[in-house]
Structure 1
Amino acid sequence: MLAKLHLLMNELDHARLERLVDSPEYNKMPVAQALAERLDNADIAAPEEIPADLVSMHSRIRFRDLKADLLMEKELVYPHNLKQDATDQLSVMAPLGAALLGARVGEEVHWQLPNGKDAALMVEEILYQPEQAGELYR
């Protein structure tokens, strides 16, 4: 479950994620159900209107696990783009990936993990964001 329900995202990612969470492969997963709820309440913008400090799909982000005080750097990807044995990627269908989607630099986000514990993350920096790099229709 997400602590925040509001989400701003580009219209292309929104459409892709709606198809993903509705697919038979994912629609019964708790993370997909929570993400579907956020998508239903999302504000949708054209790719060129996405702020530079917002985590979007394929963003490379540096974030801190506040519980473990661990700094990580990952690219937020769709599950089908996840490379086998990739340690620098995070699927949007993983609880932490779903939690980071739509977060802003400096924002703390929370997600309840499958084991019942609460994850607390802080976005420290966006190292790459497709929209700011001009890759509006990737």
Structure 2
Amino acid sequence: MKKKQIIVSQHDYDILKTLCYHSAGSEKLKEELERAVVRKGKVSDEVVQVNSTLQFKDERTGAVRSVQLVLPAASNIQLGKLSILSPIGTALLGYSTGDVVDWEVPAGKTQLHILSVTPAPQEAAQ
């Protein structure tokens, strides 16, 4: 099945490309960035970007989660801060509200339905 194109801001792309070169376990993120449409201007508030807060449903388990997608140094799952390098974090990057993402996670293949996205605070997005 062909995957939907993802959208990534130039700012996020530059940061994530650098992260990929310096982090073990970033192969999936590298693959996602290779197929991304990179936008130099503003990206829609509906698109999951670094520091976005989003709510999604795991269609396999029915669990609904609210997380903020962050760089690895800021991750803290107890506080709802999900690393971009985690399998689910990488899966959600660049998709929009309403999208359903097919992805392989440690527990097996799942579908993640993005219910809502709140954009990153302005100071974090710069």
Q: Same fold (TM over 0.5)?
A: yes
Are residues 1:109 and 2:74 paired? no
Unmatched 5+ residue regions in structure 1?
A: none
Are residues 1:61 and 2:60 paired? no
1:42-121 mapped onto 2 (5 Å cutoff) = 42-46=36-40, 48-83=41-76, 86-115=78-107, 117-121=108-112
Amino acid at match of 1:124: L
State how far apart, in whole Å, the 2-side matches of 1:124 and 1:19 are: 29
Amino acid at match of 1:43: V
Report deviation, 1:114. Answer: 3.4
2:30 to 33, 36, 56: 36
- Flag the 1:87–1:41 CA change in 2: closer, same or farther, 3 A: same
Runs of 4 or more above 4 Å deviation: 133-137
State how far apart, in whole Å, the 2-side matches of 1:6 and 1:75 are: 21
State how far apart, in whole Å, the 1-side matches of 2:124 and 2:20 are: 22
Report the more deviating stretch, 4-13 or 102-111. 4-13
1:129: which partner in 2? 119
CA contact (8 A) 2:51 2:125 kept: no
Deviations 1:64-104 (A, max 9, x none): 01111111100000101124x63411111000000010111
State how far apart, in whole Å, the 1-side matches of 2:125 and 2:85 are: 21
CA contact (8 A) 2:55 2:114 kept: yes
Report deviation, 1:52. Answer: 1.8
Report the more deviating stretch, 101-110 or 5-14. 5-14
State how far apart, in whole Å, the 2-side matches of 1:86 and 1:19 are: 27
State how far apart, in whole Å, the 2-side matches of 1:134 and 1:34 are: 27
1:11-30 mapped onto 2 (5 Å cutoff) = 11-23=10-22, 25-26=23-24, 29=25
Amino acid at match of 1:125: S
State how far apart, in whole Å, the 2-side matches of 1:6 and 1:121 are: 16
- Match of 2:112, SS state, is strand
